[in-house]
Amino acid sequence: MDASAGETSADVVLEALRARARSGATRSADWRRDQLAALERMMIECEAEFGEALAADLGKPALEAWASETAYVAGEARYARRRLRGWMRPRPVPTPAVAQPGASRLVPEPLGVVLVIGAWNYPVQTVLAPAVSALAAGNAVLLKPSELAPASSAALARLVPRYLDPDGVRVVEGGAAETEALLRARFDHIVYTGSGRVGRIVMRAAAEHLTPVTLELGGRSPCVVMPDADVEVAARRIAWGKFMNAGQTCVAPDHVLVDAATRERLVPALAGAIRAFYGDRPLASPDLSRIVNRAHFDRLCRALEGLAPVHGGGRDAATLRIEPTIVVDPPAGHALVCDEIFGPILPVLTVDGLDDAIARIEGGDTPLAAYLFTRDRAAGRRFVDEVRAGMMCLNDTLMFTTVPELPHGGRGASGMGGFKGRAGFERLSHLKPVLRRGWWPDLALRYPPYTDAKFRWLRRLR
């Protein structure tokens, strides 16, 4: 499709969605509940179809496809549907004496049409999890899956119209040209998941229309292991969070920060966890996903050039698989130390205790997630207080994604705006402040002519 054709069809689709939103149909609790129920049903009934697509795009194991994509979205949809009535209810807020008699409320109302642009690493979840929030908030939604996960994109284009209101939810497939065409149109909110580079393009385009954006970006999520941590448990949890989806997870621990003595216990424990998870021939393991495409495979292989991994390092260009790999202390300035890795390579970087670890983290871009393993509650408190990050988990990795009321989102370079649960609903609603005043008494105090006596009384009322 050339870009101008993309523009035309984008306009047609957008107009249809806008008409649906304007008709008021998407506002009703029934429509929202029906859409959320249908979305949940789609994830359950089409688990196998989505699973096959995810296996084709990323070699994703069925269990991971279920846990992190289909069951994840189904769970979010169910959670939102069950709480919808409460979320939609106007929220009373206190009314001061000066506005009495009166009642003040925040009334959630839909924004209109929301554009969701997904990423390839969790190609179903990054499209449909924001859709849960958008639908719960009563919006029409345009979904743009990533072209780099073509089977998942096609599955969404095929299945979404079968389950969801075709006038209120549409899927547009395509790459950069189609997305740029979409971005020229005026949406009421844009949710983008992906790289900071494209995040900037999205935000610039949105600025033309003063459209608010939610950006779910990436970054180098650090993982600090303290000497008092249970190293065996920490190693398992780090290896699990890192090597799931072959490291192509936005909140995967990017690298480990550890002191020299703890490193000597941690590295063998990490190697042991990798062997226990993926066996002695990880490239043949059905539980190890592949790298999404040749360009990313080559990027990761280049990053390993000239280094001597202490574990792994094997790769297979034919299947785009790279072994879970551990590298200790790559040189300063190396890509593994400076860029988000987004692959199954775990650098273990030696630091001089917690102060040094925190200084290093704070010296870089704000990460999407930060992890600390320690039994020391004071150290945990310090980490929470002093480290800027989108999200945090102490003594585990990734598990915050299972908590519906912990919104998923970054800050600074890792994005803006959080999703999930009530926060997702509120992000894609406008909480309209409404004051309802009583008719009587209608005090003359505030009306001109202004006198000294009125001024004195008004000061007392404040």
Residues 58 and 114: beta-carbon distance below 8 Å: no
Q: Which of 37, 56, 198, 335 binds ligand NAD (CB under 6 A)?
A: 198
What residues does 153 pair with on adjacent strands? none
- Positive/negative CA dihedral, 325, 328, 331, 335: positive
Site for ligand NAD in 125-154 (CB under 6 A): 126, 144, 146-148
Residue 176 or 276: the one with the smaller Cβ distance to ligand NAD is 176
Instruction: Tell me whether residue 118 or residue 138 sits nearer to ligand NAD (CB atom).
Output: 118
Task: Choose between 193 and 374: whose C-beta lies nearer to ligand NAD.
Answer: 193
The packing angle between helices 29-45 and 71-88, to 10°, is 170
d(CA 155, CA 174): 13
Q: Which letter does DSSP use for residue 311 in this model?
A: B
User: Does 214 contact ligand NAD by CB under 6 A?
Assistant: no
250 flagged as catalytic: yes
Q: Does the footprint of ligand NAD cover residue 297 (CB under 6 A)?
A: no
* Interior/surface letters 260-296, b for 16+ CB within 10 angstroms, e for the rest: eebbebbbebbbebbeebbeeebbebebbbbbbeeeb
Contact call for residue 250 and ligand NAD (CB under 6 A): yes
Q: Does 253 bind ligand NAD (CB under 6 A)?
A: no
User: Which is the catalytic residue, given 64, 216, 323, 340?
Assistant: 216
| Minimum distance, C-beta of residue 150 to ligand NAD, in the bound complex (Å) | 11
Q: Are the CB atoms for 316 and 325 separated by under 8 Å?
A: no
**Cα 10 to the center of its chain, rounded Å:** 25
Among 75, 90, 150, 175, binds ligand NAD (CB under 6 A): 175
Contact assessment for residue 222 and residue 319, using Cβ atoms and an 8 Å cutoff: no
What's the closest the beta carbon of residue 24 comes to ligand NAD, in angstroms?
A: 30
Q: Is 211 an interacting residue with respect to ligand NAD (CB under 6 A)?
A: no
How big is the chain by its Cα radius of gyration, in Å? 25
> Residue 196 Cβ, how far from ligand NAD at the closest point, in Å?
7
Segment interacting with ligand NAD (CB under 6 A) among 73-81, 132-140, 213-221, 329-337: 213-221
Contact assessment for residue 419 and residue 223, using Cβ atoms and an 8 Å cutoff? no
216 as an active site residue: the answer is: yes
176 binds ligand NAD (CB under 6 A): yes
Phi/psi-derived region of residue 329, left when phi > 0, alpha when psi is between -120 and 50, beta in every other case: left
User: Which one among 7, 69, 76, 340 touches ligand NAD, defined by CB under 6 A?
Assistant: 340
Q: What is the dihedral of CA 351, 344, 241, 58, to 10 degrees?
A: 160
Instruction: Catalytic residue, from 250, 323, 393, 426: name it.
Output: 250
Nearest to ligand NAD of 32, 255 (CB atom): 255
61 binds ligand NAD per the rule CB under 6 A: no
Which residues lie closer than 8 Å to 458 by C-beta, 6 or more apart?
98, 445, 446
Closer to ligand NAD by Cβ: residue 354 or 368: 368
The two counts, helices (H) then strands (E), for the chain are 17, 17
Between the alpha carbon of residue 36 and those of residues 45, 132, 255, 400, 457, the distances in Å are 14, 7, 37, 23, 53
Quick check: 244 binds ligand NAD (CB under 6 A)?
Answer: no
Q: For residue 365, what is the DSSP state?
A: P
Using the minimum distance from each CB to ligand NAD, give the nearer residue, 70 or 374: 70
| Interface stretch with ligand NAD, choices 17-25, 61-69, 190-198, 238-246 (CB under 6 A) | 190-198
Is residue 368 part of the contact set for ligand NAD (CB under 6 A)? yes
**DSSP annotation of 69:** I
Among 194, 312, 343, 418, binds ligand NAD (CB under 6 A): 194
Among 119, 156, 234, 273, binds ligand NAD (CB under 6 A): 119
Cβ–Cβ < 8 Å for 252, 397: yes
Coil vs helix vs strand at 421: helix
Only segment of 34-42, 74-82, 187-195, 206-214 that touches ligand NAD (CB under 6 A): 187-195
What are the residue numbers of the active site? 216, 250
Summarize as ranges the residues that interact with ligand NAD (CB under 6 A).
117-122, 126, 144, 146-148, 175-176, 179-180, 193-195, 198, 201, 216-218, 250, 340, 342, 368, 408, 410, 415
